[in-house]
Structure 1
C-alpha cells in the first residue's frame, strides 16, 4: 500500500488528468447500474399488462440508450486520461531514476549488475503505469460497484439482499489468503527477471569471448536455468491464482443459487415480483464481481508493486560520493595537485592505499608505476571523486576537492583510458562528447593533433560515419586516437593518461605517444603506465609498492638508485 501511495503522490503533476479520469469513471460506473433496473421495470409493466406498455418501453429504451452512451463514453475518456497521466509519469520516473544512477559512485555500480539496473529503468519503472492506469481505477470501480449495487439490492428486497451477503465472508477470506502468499512470490519474480536481464546483457557484451572459447552451450544452460527459475516463480504465483479462482466462482454461484431458490419462494408468497428476481440476479452478479475480481487485481498489483519497489530501492539509495552544501565552483585551475595523508580500501579487509603524500606542481608530468593492484588507477579515480578516500584529502590549487561541485571538478580533468569507450553514434558526436559547443574547425584541429584526421577522412562518411556500439567498426588504434582527440578538444588543465598505449602495436604506440606528448604540454599530466619506455621524459616518476610510495624521482635518478624502478625498467629492456 505504501508503494501504491508513493506512486500516486509522486504523480501529483498529473493529478488533474487522474481526477478528470476519476469523474468520468464514476459517471460510467453509475450509468452501468441502470441496465438491470430497466429490465426490472420492463418485466414489471409487462407482467402487469400495462395499457401504455409501448410508450413506457420506448421511454425505458431511450434512457437505457443514454446510460449506455454515458457508460461507454465515460470508460473511454477515463481509460485515455489514466494512460496519459500514467505513461507521462513513467517517462518522468525513468528520467529521474536514470539521473539518480548517473550520480551514483562507482562503488554502487561495482556491486550491481548493469543488466539488472537496465531492467529497473526500462521494465520495472513501467509497472507504475499498471498501478495508475489499471490497478487504482479498477479498485475505484469495484468499490463503487460494491457499494452502489449493494444499496440497490437492499432497495429491491431486504431479505434477498441479506441472504446474498452470506457468501461474502468466504469470498473475502479466499482473496486475503491468496494475496498474502502472492506478494513475496511477485517480489521473487521481479528479482529473477532482473538477474536474467543482467546475464543476457553480460553475454551479449562478451559474445566474442563466448565464441572464442566455445562456451555457447554453457551460457545457454545458464540462460535456460534462469529462464526456468523465472518460469517456476511465475507458475507458483499462477498456482495460487488458478487454485483460488474456481473457489471464488463456486461461492459466487452458490449465492446466486440461494437467491433463485429463496426468490421463488418470495414470489409465491407475493413478497417479490418476477421483475425483482430478474433484476436482483443481474445485480447480484455485479455485486459479487468486485470481490471475485479482487484476486486478479491483487495479482496485478503485486507484480506492479514488486517492480516499483525495485525502482524505489535505487531512488532511496544514498550516494557514497556527495557534494557538501553550498559547494564552490572550481574555476581558473592552474593544476597543482596534492594528495595529503591519503588512505583508501575497497573492502575493509584489504587496504589499497595508506598515508599517500604527493605534490604535483602545475604543468608537471608525473608518472605512476608499479605492479598490478598497487593503486595507480585508484589514485586517478579518487582525483575524479569516483570514490572518496577513507582518510586524508586531495587538493587542487590548495582547495579540497570535497568542497567543490562534482561538475566543476570533472570539467577540469580529462582522461584517456586503455579501454576507450565510444558511443554508438558518429565520429563527430564522439569527439565533441565532452564539449558540445565546439566548432567544426576546432574538432579538425583536435583530430589533427591526435593523428586521427587522415583515417577519419578515409572512412565512408568521414566525420559522419556511424562507428557502432563501443566503436566496434574501428581498430584499437583508431578508437584511441578519437579518445585523445576528445581530450584535446576539451582542453582541461589536468590530464590523466591511464595505460593509454599499452594495448597497441609498436608503430601505433609511437604515433599515439607523439600525440600524447603534444597535449601534455602546458598542463598537469598524470601518466599511469606499464611500459616504462613511454615515461622516460616525465618530470617525476612515483613508484608504488604495497600500499604506499616506495620511490620518487626522475628516470635517471631512479635508475641510479638501483631500486624497484630500476629493476622493472631493466627487466622490460631485456
Structure 2
C-alpha cells in the first residue's frame, strides 16, 4: 500500500469509523430518495403509452399521486441527508483539527520547528478540512452515484437491451478522460498546497514584523517578496484550474454523445414501431439519470485527486516524534541540578561539547557570548530538546525518566521574549496556575510591583494587551511574565536574558524579587552583563568549545 493509501486508512479508522452508524443512516436516506427518483420515468412511460395513447383516463389520478409522492419523499430525504451530513462533517472536522493541534503541541520541538508556522496553519485548518471533505462527502457520493448508475442501467436493459448497450458506448471515453486528467490534477494540487503553505508563512512573518519593516523602509521589499510567492501560487493554481476546466469541457462533449446515439438509433425504431413512444421517452429520462451521476463521478474523482494530498500532510503531523515522557515522579527537595558530559547539536553542528555544571538552591548565573549555547542549556533542562549524549539530573533523578508533566510543573521559565497571549493581563498571569484564585493572581502582581501599572490601566486586570503584548512596554511585559512565574511557585526558576531590553528600575525590581526567592528556589539566570551578577553566587562561564565554573564572584 502506498503512502497515501496508508494515510487514508489511518485517517478513516481513527476519525471516520466511530461515526460509521451515522454515515450508514445518511446513506440509507439518500438511497430512499434515489429509489423514488428511479420510478419517475416509468410513471412518465405509463402516462404517454397508457393515458395519452391508450386513453386510460382512470390511471391519470394514480400517476399524479405517485409523481407527487415521489417528489415529497425525495425532498424530505434530501433535506435530512444533507443536514445530517453537514453536521457530521463539522463534528469530524472538529475532532481532526483538535487532534492535529494537540499533536503539534505534544510533538518534539525540534521537529515542529522544522516546519514553518504558515505550513502548520495550512495543515491544521485547510488540509484537515479537505481530508474530512473526502471522507464525509466525496467517498459517500462515489457510492451513491455508483448506485444511481446501476439502477437506470438495469432498467434500460429491461426496456430494450440493444438500445441500452448502444447509448452506453461513451462510458469508456469518460473513464479514460477522468483517469488521465485526475492524475495530472493530483500532481498539480500537491504543488499548490506547498505554495499556499509558504505563502501563509511569509504573511505571518511579515505581519509580525511590520514595525521593523517600517523603520528600515522595507515596504517595497516585503511587498515584492509577497507578490513573487503569490504569483507562484496563482500560476500553479491556474494550472489546476486549466486541467479542471478541460476535464469539464471534454466531459460535456462526451455526455452529449448518448443523446445523439439515442436519437440516431432509437428514433427510427419509434418510427418503425419496434419501440413505443413512452419507452423512448423513458429512455431519454434514464439516459439522463445514468449519465448525470457518471458526470458527477468524474467531478468527484477530480475533487478527490485535488484533495488527496491533504491526507499525507495531515498524517505527517500525527507521525511527528513526540516529547519523551518518563514514568517517575519528581519531588524537588534539595533542588540540585547536574549536567554531566552533555553534548548537543543543531543540524549536526555541536553547540555544547561535554558540558558539566552543577546548580544548587540560590542564585546561579550562566555567562557567555552569543551562540555559546546558554539558552540551549535551559531548553535542555526543560526537555524541549533531547541531549545527544550525557545526563541531566534533578536531585539525582535523570530528567528523561521523569514524567513530562511532573518535570515541567516543577520548572518555571521566563524567556527573553515573554510570550504573551492576545488576552487580558489577568489571563496572562493566571496561566501560571490555572487553579489559582483571583486574590493569588493579584498577590503575585503585587510581589513584582506590577499591580500599580495594571490598576492604572483602563480596565485594570481585564485590560487587553494585544497580540504578544504589543500594547505594553518591555518592562511591563517582563513584569507580567515574572508574576506568572511567581504564581506558578515552582522550586526551579529559569531566566533567559530577561533584563537585556528593560530599564534600570525594572532590572532592580527583578533583582529584589530574586533575592527574596533565592533561599527557597534554584534560580538559573542567563546574562551577558557581569554587573548584574550578585556576589556569592554560582557562576558558569561559557565560551566557544569550553567553559569554566566559579563557585562565587
Q: Pick the TM interval, shorter chain.
A: over 0.9
Q: Separation in 2 of the partners of 1:82 and 1:272? A: 42
Aligned residues of 2:111 and 2:320 also touching (Cα < 8 A): no
Give the corresponding residue for 1:322. 324
Quote the offset at 1:159 in angstroms.
0.8
| Alignment equivalent of 1:201, drawn from 201, 204, 214 | 204
1:329 alignment partner, SS class:
coil
- Is 1:181 the counterpart of 2:184? The answer is yes
The answer to whether the 8 Å contact 2:332/2:395 transfers is no
> Given that residues 362 and 523 in structure 2 are in contact (C-alpha distance below 8 angstroms), is that contact kept between their aligned partners in structure 1?
yes
How far does the alpha carbon of each residue in 1:88-113 deviate from its partner, in whole angstroms, 9 at most, with x for none?
A: 01101111111111112221232111
1:563 paired residue number: none
User: Which residue is 1:33 aligned to?
Assistant: 38
Is the Cα–Cα contact under 8 Å of residues 414 and 487 in structure 1 kept in the other structure? yes
Structure 1: distance between partners of 2:235 and 2:60: 56
Unaligned runs of 5+ in 2: none
Cα pair 2:189 2:240 within 8 Å, conserved: yes
Contact 2:51 2:59 in 1 (8 A): no
Change over 3 Å in CA distance of 1:374–1:351 after alignment to 2? same
1:232 paired residue number: 235
- Structure 1 equivalent of residue 335 of structure 2: 335
Alignment partner for residue 48 of structure 1, among 45, 53, 64?
A: 53
Separation in 2, partners of 1:458, 1:418: 25
Structure 1 residue 8 corresponds to structure 2 residue 12: yes
**Structure 1 residue 5: Cα displacement:** 4.4
The CA deviation at 1:290 is 2.5
Q: Does structure 2 retain, via aligned residues, the 8 Å contact 1:368–1:543?
A: yes
Do the aligned residues in 1 keep the contact of 2:108 with 2:321 (CA within 8 Å)?
A: no
1:250 matched to 2:253? The reply is yes
Q: Distance in 1 between matches of 2:433 and 2:197?
A: 35
Give the match for residue 149 of structure 1: 152
Q: Which runs of 5+ in 1 are unaligned?
A: 556-574
In structure 1, the partner of 2:129 is: 126
Would you say the 8 A contact 2:337–2:394 is kept in 1?
A: yes
Q: CA deviation at 1:553?
A: 3.2
TM-score, structure 1 as length reference: 0.92
Match of 1:259 in 2: 262
User: Cα deviation per residue 1:480-510 (whole Å; 9 max; x = unaligned)?
Assistant: 1111111111111111111111111223322
**Which residue of the partner structure matches residue 23 of structure 1?**
28
Q: What is the alpha-carbon distance in structure 2 between the residues aligned to residue 305 and residue 6 of structure 1?
A: 14
Q: In the aligned structure 2, how far is the partner of 1:30 from the partner of 1:226? A: 50
Q: Report the CA distance between 1:333 and its aligned residue.
A: 4.1
Quickly say closer, same or farther: Cα 1:105–1:537, change in 2 above 3 A.
farther
The separation in 2 between residues aligned to 1:416 and 1:250, in whole angstroms, is 66
Contact 1:366-1:538 at 8 Å conserved across structures: no
Query: What is the match of residue 376 of structure 1?
Result: 374
Is contact 2:47-2:63 (8 Å) kept? Answer: yes
Q: Quick check: 1:334–1:493 contact (8 Å CA) kept in 2?
A: no
- How does 1:64-79 map onto structure 2 within 5 Å? 64-79=67-82
| 2:168 paired residue number | 165
Residue 353 of structure 1: aligned partner: 352
Instruction: For residue 339 of structure 1, report the CA deviation from its aligned partner.
Output: 0.8
Post-superposition offset of 1:36:
1.6
The one-character-per-residue Cα deviations of 1:439-468 (angstroms, maximum 9, x if unpaired) are: 222222211211111111111111121111
Q: Do the aligned partners of residues 32 and 198 (structure 1) sit closer, same or farther apart at CA in structure 2, a change above 3 Å counting?
A: same
* 1:378-405 deviation digits (Å, cap 9, x = unpaired): 1100000000110011001111010111
Runs of 4+ in 1 over 3 A off after TM superposition: 3-8
